Amino acid sequence: MSCKTIQAAEIATGHIEELKKPISSRGISPKLVGFLANDDPAAAKYAEWTAKSCQETGVTFELRECKREDLENKIITANEDPSVHGIMVYYPVFGNRQDQYIQNVVDVAKDVEGLSHRYVYNMYHNIRFLDKEQTKKCIIPCTPLAIIKVMEHVGVYNPVLPHGNRLYGRVISIINRSEIVGRPLAALLANDGAKVYSIDINGVEEFTRGSGLKLKKHEVHETNLTTEDVIPMSDVVITGVPSKSYKLSNKLLRDGVITINFSSFQNFEDSVSEKASIFVPSVGKVTIAMLQRNLLRLYDYQTTNPETN
Amino acid sequence: MSCKTIQAAEIATGHIEELKKPISSRGISPKLVGFLANDDPAAAKYAEWTAKSCQETGVTFELRECKREDLENKIITANEDPSVHGIMVYYPVFGNRQDQYIQNVVDVAKDVEGLSHRYVYNMYHNIRFLDKEQTKKCIIPCTPLAIIKVMEHVGVYNPVLPHGNRLYGRVISIINRSEIVGRPLAALLANDGAKVYSIDINGVEEFTRGSGLKLKKHEVHETNLTTEDVIPMSDVVITGVPSKSYKLSNKLLRDGVITINFSSFQNFEDSVSEKASIFVPSVGKVTIAMLQRNLLRLYDYQTTNPETN
């Protein structure tokens, strides 16, 4: 009965400080362009937060609003503009697979969100670098990365265990298996040693670390388990259901569970604090910090070897 | 009242003959691998037709059935196997955006369906070659290509007009705006000079040829028009609604319209022959011929410059 609620802003603070220092001491001003082509108030809010956070760190943020039918051409213009170092898009735009097409129109070298196929594929296959010379690290999809940072902050990762296995022994349920967050997150957590139940309306899949020669890639198994089976077994429950009406029943949660919500709607019941030991109601501000971390990395790759970009 | 119904098999015949000759005279045996990872009877039927057609042309076809969680690894194995020249997948597999991820796992050099982002992007931008030296033509997505071949066969393309503008004056409605068929088809037809109404549950978009400097790329405009507005104006109506119950009202069709259905369900009413001048009830067998045409092309690229593949 003593749940600790931790806000994303608090978790983001340390990461923001880590960004401010090099940007200020090096006297640089990496430029991030955000494209807003929908009229989703959540996206506008997120853009506003991004602008504020960038102002704090010293990143130049430019919001470009456009009609969705003009978006592709505007991204291509930004791809070709050497003064732009990073590009992001506020999704959903079309709300269907055309959004995935758009994700791949963003130049890999400027993709701060890490949503282009090359980054997603490399993430699933634990390929850490873009190039053979290992000079350019791959970008990890932003929201999954932010959730990992949240989990590190709240002590889910055990630093006593070796790197790459710090979730060993943890059972984690994720209610969302989107290509943008849920599925990559499940793979990343499995690669770090957790047993992950990935839940969506079609069922429950189990993600675990590969063994033996397959150690480097997670394994996925379809199960006959239900949400009611797996939530009570979970040390950590992460929700991302894009619906105002969806609420995960508090009764399913085990005592002392760690709960994290990344949906823009609150997926846990108000009474979650009666069960959880830790509750993180949102992650957006951590995501914004990670966007800028990725931007700084891409900035360096572009400016160190400009001829190869 | 004298509608001509033309079967896909009849349209495919000429294309199949064109494939048989070079395969036989050159004594080659290009190998196509098809992955079946769903239990959709329509997919199994399509695989069966593919096997039969390949037997006729001399293409080696191998159907590999697997569980969907094993599909990605099996595709990677085929990507790396030099004895495999072309790869296709019977979709839907996951039925969500993970299918689009899978499309991009297929090696571009072996992608007979033309569904990887690189081909799709190049198609939208009228980029005809993969390489600067213009030795490797891009693959056009298979079903849209098949529908174009159907339209050439039934006289929608006017050979009196110059290449690239042979649909000038035509008004064409397409009921389907999927990333696999409807949207690319709309762009291709607009690039050939048609005015295209692209219809899905979210509304009607108008695709037209770009003008002036933008001539090389289609333009898209959202409209307030409805299906009821645009179907009566259309010279050609193409349907691809994946639903058994969907039927386009015969009353909307103008007299003498050309009708083409690419859904595995029949989207026109039985009485369509009372309105249409030409009715093509399916295109699958033409698609299979196009798959093999693409395979032959990719075979040549792989075997001519094996070190670059």
- Report CA dihedral (A137, A143, A146, A151) to the nearest 10 degrees: -120
- Considering the domain architecture, whether residues B135 and B198 belong to the same structural domain is answered as no
Tell me what pLDDT residue B213 has: 53
How close does chain A come to B127, measured CA to CA in Å? Answer: 14
How close does chain B come to A77, measured CA to CA in Å? Answer: 14
The answer to whether A265 and A241 are in contact (CB under 8 A) is: yes
A10 found inside a domain: no
d(CA A62, CA A68): 17
- Considering the domain architecture, whether residues B278 and B154 belong to the same structural domain is answered as yes
How close does chain B come to A97, measured CA to CA in Å? Answer: 6
- Considering the domain architecture, whether residues A152 and A269 belong to the same structural domain is answered as yes
d(CA B140, CA B152): 16
Q: In chain A, which stretches have pLDDT less than 50?
A: 306-309
CATH number at residue B80: 3.40.50.10860
Please tell me if residue A178 touches chain B, with a CB cutoff of 8 Å: yes
Q: How many distinct structural domains can be found in chain A?
A: 2
- Candidates A47, A51, A50, A53; CA nearest to A20 is A53
The confidence band for B176, taking pLDDT boundaries of 50, 70 and 90, is very high
Residue of A97, A104, A221 with shortest CB distance to B69: A221
In chain B, the residue whose alpha carbon lies closest to the alpha carbon of A71 is B220
Tell me which of A38, A101, A102 to substitute to probe the interface with B (most B C-beta atoms closer than 10 Å). Answer: A101
- Considering the domain architecture, whether residues A187 and A73 belong to the same structural domain is answered as no
The answer to whether B237 and B175 are in contact (CB under 8 A) is: yes
Higher pLDDT, B20 or A160: B20
- Candidates B205, B201, B194, B198; CA nearest to B182 is B198
Please tell me if residue A29 touches chain B, with a CB cutoff of 8 Å: no
B118 found inside a domain: no
d(CA B309, CA B300): 11
Answer whether B97 sits within 8 Å of A69, measured CB to CB: no
The answer to whether B233 and B171 are in contact (CB under 8 A) is: yes
Tell me what pLDDT residue A212 has: 58
- Candidates B252, B230, B241, B125; CA nearest to B172 is B230
Please tell me if residue B158 touches chain A, with a CB cutoff of 8 Å: no
| Six token digits for residue B206 | 């108008």
Tell me which of A97, A183, A213, A223 to substitute to probe the interface with B (most B C-beta atoms closer than 10 Å). Answer: A97
Which H or E element spans position A32? strand A31-36
Answer whether B117 sits within 8 Å of A104, measured CB to CB: yes
Longest CA–CA span in chain B (Å) reads 58
Burial of A182 (0-12, 13-18, 19+ CB in 10 A): buried
- Considering the domain architecture, whether residues A150 and A234 belong to the same structural domain is answered as yes
Q: What is the mean pLDDT of chain B?
A: 93
From chain B, pick out residues whose CB is under 8 angstroms from the CB of A120: 101
- Considering the domain architecture, whether residues B175 and B261 belong to the same structural domain is answered as yes
For residues B207-221, average pLDDT: 75
Tell me what pLDDT residue B212 has: 58
Helices A117-124 & A182-191 angle (0-180, nearest 10): 30
Answer whether A97 sits within 8 Å of B97, measured CB to CB: yes
Please tell me if residue A96 touches chain B, with a CB cutoff of 8 Å: yes
The answer to whether B84 and B149 are in contact (CB under 8 A) is: no
| Six token digits for residue A271 | 């009474």
In chain A, the residue whose alpha carbon lies closest to the alpha carbon of B180 is A97
A3 found inside a domain: no
Beta bridge partners, B60, equal B31
Beta bridge partners, B197, equal B173, B206
A40 found inside a domain: yes
A164 found inside a domain: yes
| Six token digits for residue B13 | 């015949």
- SS3 of residue A74 by DSSP: helix
The answer to whether A204 and A225 are in contact (CB under 8 A) is: yes
- Considering the domain architecture, whether residues B274 and B296 belong to the same structural domain is answered as no
d(CA A153, CA A250): 24
The confidence band for B291, taking pLDDT boundaries of 50, 70 and 90, is very high
- Considering the domain architecture, whether residues B257 and B155 belong to the same structural domain is answered as yes
Tell me what pLDDT residue A201 has: 92
- Considering the domain architecture, whether residues A177 and A294 belong to the same structural domain is answered as no
Q: Could you report the per-residue pLDDT of B46-91, keeping only the tens digit for each?
A: 999 999 999 999 999 999 999 999 999 999 999 999 999 999 999 9
Burial string for B265-303 (b: 16+ CB within 10 Å, else e) reads: eebbeeebbebbbbbbbbbbbbbbbbbbbbbbbbbbbbe
B119 found inside a domain: no
Tell me what pLDDT residue B92 has: 93
Mapping DSSP onto H, E and C, the string for A106-138 reads CCHHHECCCCCHHHHHHHHCCCCECCCCCCCEC
User: CA angle, B51 as apex, B135 and B128 as ends, to 5°?
Assistant: 20
Beta bridge partners, B258, equal B236, B278
Answer whether A101 sits within 8 Å of B179, measured CB to CB: yes
Please tell me if residue B105 touches chain A, with a CB cutoff of 8 Å: yes
Tell me what pLDDT residue B157 has: 94
- Considering the domain architecture, whether residues B216 and B179 belong to the same structural domain is answered as yes
Answer whether B97 sits within 8 Å of A100, measured CB to CB: yes
How large a percentage of chain B has pLDDT more than 90?
Answer: 88
The confidence band for B308, taking pLDDT boundaries of 50, 70 and 90, is very low
- Candidates A283, A264, A255; CA nearest to A151 is A283
Burial of A174 (0-12, 13-18, 19+ CB in 10 A): buried
Q: Could you report the per-residue pLDDT of B223-237, keeping only the tens digit for each?
A: 999 999 999 999 999
Q: Which residues contact B211 (CB under 8 A, 6 or more apart)?
A: none
- Considering the domain architecture, whether residues B102 and B225 belong to the same structural domain is answered as no
Which H or E element spans position A20? helix A8-26
Tell me what pLDDT residue A213 has: 53
Answer whether A69 sits within 8 Å of B220, measured CB to CB: yes
CA within 13 Å, CB half, A300: 11
Longest CA–CA span in chain A (Å) reads 58
A135 found inside a domain: no
Tokens 């032959």 sit on residue: B296
Tell me what pLDDT residue B210 has: 77
Q: Could you report the per-residue pLDDT of B161-172, keeping only the tens digit for each?
A: 888 889 999 999
Please tell me if residue A100 touches chain B, with a CB cutoff of 8 Å: yes
The answer to whether B172 and B162 are in contact (CB under 8 A) is: no
Residue of A69, A95, A179 with shortest CB distance to B98: A179
d(CA A121, CA B281): 39
- Considering the domain architecture, whether residues B292 and B225 belong to the same structural domain is answered as no
Query: What DSSP line would sit under B73-104, residue for residue?
Result: HHHHHHHH-TT--EEEE-S-SSSSTHHHHHHH
d(CA A11, CA B181): 45
Tell me what pLDDT residue B309 has: 41
Tell me what pLDDT residue B126 has: 87
Is B138 assigned a catalytic role? no
In chain A, the residue whose alpha carbon lies closest to the alpha carbon of B201 is A96
CATH number at residue A182: 3.40.50.720
Q: How far is CA B157 from CA B9, B188, B235, in A?
A: 20, 13, 12
A14 found inside a domain: no
Range of the domain at A245: 144-274
For residues B192-215, average pLDDT: 86
